[in-house]
Structure 1
Amino acid sequence: MVFKRLLGSLGVGGPSVDTVLDPGAPTPGGDLRGRVHLKGGSADFTVEHITLELVAHVEAEHDGGESEGAVVFHRQVVGGSFRLAEGEARSVPFSFPLPWETPMTELYGQDLGITLGVRTELGIAGGKDKGDLDPLAVRPLPVQEAILEALGRLGFVFKSADLELGHIRGTDQQLPFYQEIEITPAAQYAHQVNEIEVTFLAGPAGTEVVLEADKRGGFLSEGHDTVSRHTVGHHGVDRVDWNAEVESWMRQLVEHRAPHGSPSPYGSPSAYGAPSPYDSHDAYGHGAPHADKDHHHVHHGDGHGHRSGPGMGTAVAAGAAGLAVGVVGGMVAAEAVDEIGDFFEGDEEEEEGDEG
């Protein structure tokens, strides 16, 4: 993965930058590695800093409708404070962890339609210039993959994925946006639910799984949304029967049954060390805050850790592949390619306009 740019603000003869990411897609919380290759210009320059920005294409809902834009969600200084001589070639290696809540862009090699980019900013002699955006691929954590694989095996099908600007109240969300993975319900739930949205909020000690169901209305009732939340750990993923675990979550969500207050085998409900806003409430979430995105109560899952099943995070089942591709998998992949092209081309046009 390469992007190269002559620093226009420095004029003709300025240094060029060629940033190369190591092959393979990292996971959230995993290290992003690569090298920034510099080529000196027609004079000596002092490089004050080399900074990498992580950028996401995010949707925002507001009173006027919806809008889309780019959000920088992480900046990392990877080098600087050196003299770049005229014509000198220099390579600066870098390695830094991605934010834990970095969205996944692919599942089993299938593009989910999420657009992330990396951009290099070079600060020289009191000025700075930014390079082009280039796509960044991120694969799911093992526990995220296991949950999505279980959903596929249970008959749920991937529909779409996007990034929503906002914060889910009652969670320890760190980024200014969250990822929603929309899935169509399995046959046994299709008469009760239109669609289900899955959000993962990962942290060092575990992952919060927020599930939201768009429930169908009945003869005398309108449709409404229900939300539940579950906390799982990063370790022992291959010892959990995820089919049984996820199916119990879905039954609770669809039937709107509050879980019992049994302790979770994954540890404290507040997986990130901060006090949970639900610690003082019962298992039914009475008095709990609402989720900002749709103003619904968020409940804890029961966290029953079924250990009887085989390790499911190591094999790709047909159902899981179905979740990744879905009934419109080819269309999703094609649209994702077009969206990435538009996003990065638009960024270049904006920067060229600024330089002009």
Structure 2
Amino acid sequence: MRGHVQIKGGDVEQQIDAITLKLNTEMKVEADDSVSYQTFTIDQLKAVDPFVIQPNEEKQVPFELKLHDETPITAVSALKNQCHVWVETTLDIGFAIDPRDRDYVEVKPLSVVSRVIRSIEQAGFTMVKADVEKGFLRGNGFSSRSGIYQELEFRNNGFISTKEIELSFILDGAVVHCLVEIDRSFSMSGDQYRSFTLPLDASDSQVASALAPVIG
């Protein structure tokens, strides 16, 4: 992600000690019987060394930030999309009334992730909810690292029973790990968990093969 911070000076000369950019998301936190939503900082950087801005001076400070591998995707077609990612810019400046700015970012899924989602939807499922939750994921030979994970919830309404699929992704270099929780209403077997790994350039047949036990 590349951009710039645009600063305009006020009526007097001012010392700016730092510009801090935080990549934030909102996570769901469950504790006891309550649910709350809290800001979680995925990554941050300081964009510039201290400097002085003159009255009415305009200055642009460029920045570049590599998105964390576990940054949630926001461009999803969920009926209830609770996934938000934004950049919070803060000026370290004395006596400022409001030294912060918030800019939302659209994060699109990788091609292989889009095809996994599309395959599930083509099998008759609807993405009913997408959110970001506090905690860690663990699958077969992989685990998350950031302290949050995204969950996409799909549901189909079968003639006899309803099937729910909760899907999470973890990007790891040239591959993406997928963890799936399957819940069937009226099923005696309880929730089932499956995990699989796909290369970023996975073919349609590889995606279909990985999803067959999930949506079959």
Tell me which of 198, 208, 215 is aligned to 1:244. Answer: 208
Give every structure 1 segment of 4 or more consecutive aligned residues whose post-TM-superposition deviation is greater than 4 Å. Answer: 108-111, 125-130, 190-193
Q: Which residue of 1 aligns with 2:144?
A: 173
What aligned pairs does 1:93-172 form with structure 2 within 5 A after superposition? 93-107=62-76, 112-124=81-93, 130-170=99-139, 171-172=142-143
Q: Structure 1 residue 198: deviation in Å? A: 0.4
Counting matched residue pairs gives 214
Q: Structure 1 residue 111: deviation in Å? A: 8.2
1:121-159 residue CA offsets vs partner (Å, 9 max, x unmatched) = 112369996413232211101111111111122222111
What aligned pairs does 1:234-273 form with structure 2 within 5 A after superposition? 234=200, 236-237=201-202, 239-241=203-205, 244-250=208-214
Aligned equivalents of 1:142 and 1:149: distance in 2?
A: 10
Aligned equivalents of 1:101 and 1:115: distance in 2?
A: 13
Q: For 2:154, give the aligned amino acid.
A: I
Tell me which of 40, 44, 66 is aligned to 2:9. Answer: 40
1:270-308 residue CA offsets vs partner (Å, 9 max, x unmatched) = xxxxxxxxxxxxxxxxxxxxxxxxxxxxxxxxxxxxxxx
Aligned equivalents of 2:192 and 2:75: distance in 1?
A: 27
Tell me which of 178, 192, 197 is aligned to 1:226. Answer: 192
Aligned equivalents of 1:199 and 1:126: distance in 2?
A: 44
**SS of the residue aligned with 1:139?**
coil
Distance 1:101 1:246, change over 3 A: same
Counterpart contact for 2:27–2:134, Cα < 8 Å: yes
Aligned equivalents of 1:118 and 1:246: distance in 2?
A: 35
Unmatched tracts of structure 1, length 5 or more: 1-31, 255-356
What aligned pairs does 1:1-356 form with structure 2 within 5 A after superposition? 32-107=1-76, 112-124=81-93, 130-170=99-139, 171-185=142-156, 187=158, 191=160, 194-218=163-187, 221=188, 224-234=190-200, 236-237=201-202, 239-241=203-205, 244-250=208-214
Q: For 2:104, give the aligned amino acid.
A: P
Counterpart contact for 2:168–2:178, Cα < 8 Å: yes
Aligned equivalents of 1:59 and 1:109: distance in 2?
A: 17
Whose strand fraction is larger, Structure 1's or Structure 2's? Answer: 2
* Sequence identity (%): 26
**SS of the residue aligned with 1:114?**
coil
What RMSD, in angstroms, separates the aligned Cα atoms of the two structures? Answer: 2.8
Q: Which residue of 2 aligns with 1:349?
A: none
TM-score scaled by length of structure 2: 0.85
Counterpart contact for 2:198–2:207, Cα < 8 Å: no
Q: Structure 1 residue 38: deviation in Å? A: 0.8
Aligned equivalents of 1:65 and 1:169: distance in 2?
A: 24
TM-score scaled by length of structure 1: 0.54
Distance 1:210 1:153, change over 3 A: same
Distance 1:243 1:166, change over 3 A: closer
Unmatched tracts of structure 2, length 5 or more: none
Counterpart contact for 2:22–2:44, Cα < 8 Å: yes
Aligned equivalents of 1:169 and 1:130: distance in 2?
A: 39
Distance 1:176 1:106, change over 3 A: same
Q: Structure 1 residue 87: deviation in Å? A: 2.1
Q: For 2:117, give the aligned amino acid.
A: L
Structure whose CA Rg is larger: 1
Q: Structure 1 residue 166: deviation in Å? A: 0.9
Distance 1:247 1:174, change over 3 A: closer
Counterpart contact for 1:191–1:216, Cα < 8 Å: no
